[in-house]
């Protein structure tokens, strides 16, 4: 399976239509790949909290529709990254009506999954102040031409919460797709956690981060593809870059059979006892 991670660089001042034009061209340029992945909140600006109200989208709005058209044109499954999703007539439990929502599109441009970020980053500001928390674990079989792996969806800060990935593993996940806007200040934690989630769950991990500086926050880049042993198959630098990597889905069952660590799981009593 041929995968492209688009580590997008952006700065303040670029309009959503201009950035969308640029992203659509980058997706089109990935013809020949089976799965293309974009980063977190690239249209709204992940750390530009003040700008979000003017840049909200729906899952079938302009941004996702344009990316879907590009998916159709190149015949690839496209993870469109995430949007600041403000659906009509859905205020949410806290009345904010805004989610950090990622969208997966098939090769015909149809939406096949929507994941709303469960863990909101900001310690009382930003996401926890402005957004609702997602409540659903999302795992699905990837369709052709990216078929052969079952994928779990998560977003950026989620990476710090291993129980989400265990829940995805328990639903059959073999690959974790993680769009992100992870700053330089903590980029070593990003690199470490991508590998940790791969090793402890014996899964492929695709981490697609952001580059550049926006809202006075420097993004760390270092997008990476990690295999189920925790080996780094490819890693980006700190600027805009497309990582193009071939992965073999058969590696997951082969490695799990050869080194069956997951069969030795025991649940502490707090999680319901030893199994
Ligand atoms: N966009 C995010 O979720 C940022 C997460 C982050 O910076 C961290 O976990 O550190």
The pLDDT assigned to 272 comes to 76
Per-residue pLDDT tens digits for 65-105:
999 999 999 999 999 999 999 999 999 999 999 999 999 99
In the reported structure, the alpha carbon of residue 157 is separated from the centroid of ligand 1 by a whole-number distance in angstroms of: 4
Nearest atom (ligand 1) to Cα of 155 = 3
DSSP helix, strand, coil percent of the chain (3-state; round to 5): 30, 25, 45
Selection from 95, 79, 212 nearest residue 140 by Cα: 79
The pLDDT assigned to 25 comes to 98
> Which residues on adjacent β-strands are paired with residue 82?
102
Whether the pLDDT of residue 219 is over 90: the answer is: yes
Active site positions, annotated: 40, 117, 156
Q: Across the chain, what does the average pLDDT equal?
A: 97
Q: pTM of the prediction?
A: 0.97
Length of the chain: 275
Whether the pLDDT of residue 63 is over 90: the answer is: yes
Ligand 1 proximal residues by C-beta, below 6 Å: 40, 46, 121, 156-157, 160, 181-183, 186, 189
How far is the C-alpha of 153 from the C-alpha of 142, rounded, in Å? 11
The pLDDT assigned to 275 comes to 60
In the reported structure, the alpha carbon of residue 275 is separated from the centroid of ligand 1 by a whole-number distance in angstroms of: 33
Q: How many CB atoms lie within 10 A of CB 266?
A: 8
Domains and CATH numbers, the chain: 2-248 (3.60.110.10)
The pLDDT assigned to 58 comes to 98
> Which whole number is the average pLDDT over 110-134?
97
Per-residue pLDDT tens digits for 29-38:
999 999 999 9
Per-residue pLDDT tens digits for 248-260:
999 999 999 999 9
How far is the C-alpha of 76 from the C-alpha of 68, rounded, in Å? 10
Which of 183, 188, 216 to mutate for ligand 1's pocket (most ligand atoms within 8 Å of CB)? 183
Tokens representing 89? 């007539």
Ligand 1 atom 7, closest CA: 182
- Alpha carbon separation from 191 to 4, 12, 244, 253 (Å, rounded): 18, 26, 18, 24
Tokens representing 97? 């009506």
Biggest CA-to-CA distance, the chain: 54
Per-residue pLDDT tens digits for 168-179:
999 999 999 999
Residue at token pair 């957004």: 131
How far is the C-alpha of 15 from the C-alpha of 79, rounded, in Å? 21
Q: How many CA atoms lie within 13 A of 79 on its CB side?
A: 34
0.85 surpassed by complex ipTM: yes
In the reported structure, the alpha carbon of residue 163 is separated from the centroid of ligand 1 by a whole-number distance in angstroms of: 17
Per-residue pLDDT tens digits for 152-169:
999 999 999 999 999 999
């Amino acid at each position: 399976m041929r995968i492209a991670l688009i580590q997008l660089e952006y700065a303040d001042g670029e309009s959503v239509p201009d950035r969308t034009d640029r992203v659509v061209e980058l997706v089109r340029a990935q013809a020949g790949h089976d799965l293309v992945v974009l980063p977190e909140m690239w249209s709204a600006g992940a750390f530009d909290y003040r700008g979000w109200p003017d840049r909200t989208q729906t899952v079938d709005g302009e941004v996702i529709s344009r990316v879907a058209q590009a998916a159709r044109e190149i015949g690839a499954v496209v993870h469109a990254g995430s949007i600041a999703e403000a659906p009509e007539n859905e205020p949410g439990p806290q009345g904010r009506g805004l989610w950090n929502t990622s969208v997966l599109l098939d090769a015909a441009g149809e939406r096949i999954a929507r994941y709303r970020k469960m863990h909101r980053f900001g310690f009382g500001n930003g996401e926890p102040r402005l957004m609702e928390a997602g409540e659903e674990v999302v795992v699905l079989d990837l369709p052709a031409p990216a078929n052969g792996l079952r994928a779990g969806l998560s977003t950026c800060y989620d990476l710090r919460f291993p129980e989400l990935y265990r829940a995805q593993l328990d639903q059959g996940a073999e690959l974790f797709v993680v769009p992100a806007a992870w700053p330089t200040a903590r980029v070593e934690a990003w690199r470490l956690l991508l590998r940790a989630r791969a090793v402890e769950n014996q899964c492929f991990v695709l981490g697609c981060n952001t580059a550049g500086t926006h809202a006075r926050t420097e993004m760390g880049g270092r997008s990476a593809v990690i295999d189920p042993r925790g080996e780094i198959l490819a890693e980006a630098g700190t600027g805009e870059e497309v990582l193009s990597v071939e992965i073999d889905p058969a590696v997951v069952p082969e490695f799990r059979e050869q080194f069956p660590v997951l069969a030795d799981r025991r649940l502490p009593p707090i999680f319901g006892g030893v199994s």
